[in-house]
Amino acid sequence: MGIGYGYGKVILFNEHFVVYGIPAIASSIDKETIAEVRVYDGNKDVIHDGRDAVPGYKREKYRQQVESIKRIKNAMNIDENLDIWLHGSLKAASGVGASAASCAAIARAISDEFGLDYSDEEINKVAYEGEKAYHGNPSGIDNSCATFGGLIWFERDKEVEKISISKPVEIVMGNTGVVANTKKAVDGVLERKNIYKEKYEDIFKKAERLAYDARGAIEKENWKEVGLLMNRNHGLLQEIEVSSKDLDFLVELARDNGAYGAKMTGGGLGGYMVALTPGKELQNRVAKAIEKEGFEVLLTAIGNRS
């Protein structure tokens, strides 16, 4: 039986903007999906999805999951039917790169089962093909985090760059519990961008400048500045209409409880937000405030595998 893994992720800057070639910054988190695969003598692939999940997530994503596995197999020239098990510490939910983590994990497991010895770069390309089933036109940032780990600077169609920091920094991810349709969110941005051309051009220019400022602040480990820039980035994401009432509520709640900065993360319209909370004390304070309002939290850190 072949086995493989894929990391969860958090986007710190410029989700959605990254689709249009603007730089983004993201990190893997210390949660992962594990896939186990073996050749199956039945007449179709069989998926045993044992991941903990937000209610409705697996049902809503099932057709995309089947298409994703088909794409992964095609990319790897695999004709045999497969028995596939999914489990691990990463909750299947919108905003943490669950689909990309599963794509990377399945690709690695197939490589292991068939003795293909794929490199990380090859796994990343296969995972990107799998992601197309979930996102239509993925930027590639999720599968890059899922495959390589660490803190990354990402520009579409360019080589991934690692960003080094001296030690991991604590964050809190708050879950709205809403299963988001990333493809719908991406398509909505494109539609509005074509209608409100001048307005969106200005927003996108601000997002690009902000990415370079954020990289500089991260490399200097000026976390107060990073937090302020996260706040500004959330404002830009609100302007392109990919946030939601619940996301905005959790972002404000985190800031009110001392987070250096907070923003939505991932596709938006639901899913997760992220708060920058250096130090266990601040991390716990923000997490408790979010839990008190009835929302689930994930306590993790950025820069774990850089």
The residues pairing with 126 across neighbouring beta strands, listed in sequence order, are none
Q: Which residues contact 266 (CB under 8 A, 6 or more apart)?
A: 11, 15, 94, 95, 96, 97, 180, 182, 272
Q: Is 142 a catalytic residue?
A: yes
* DSSP label at residue 53: B
Nearest alpha-carbon partner for 86 in 101, 70, 64: 101
φ, ψ for residue 52, nearest 5 deg? -65, 140
Token readout for 282 is 């601040």
Q: Which residues contact 281 (CB under 8 A, 6 or more apart)?
A: none
Give yes or no for a contact between 57 and 91, defined as CB atoms under 8 angstroms apart: no
Number of H helices, E strands in the chain: 9, 10
**Which residue of the set 142, 202, 246, 256 is catalytic?**
142
Per residue, what are the HEC states of 180-201? CCHHHHHHHHHHHHHHCHHHHH
Give yes or no for a contact between 118 and 126, defined as CB atoms under 8 angstroms apart: yes
Q: Is 117 exposed, middle or buried (0-12, 13-18, 19+ CB in 10 A)?
A: exposed
- The catalytic residue positions are 142
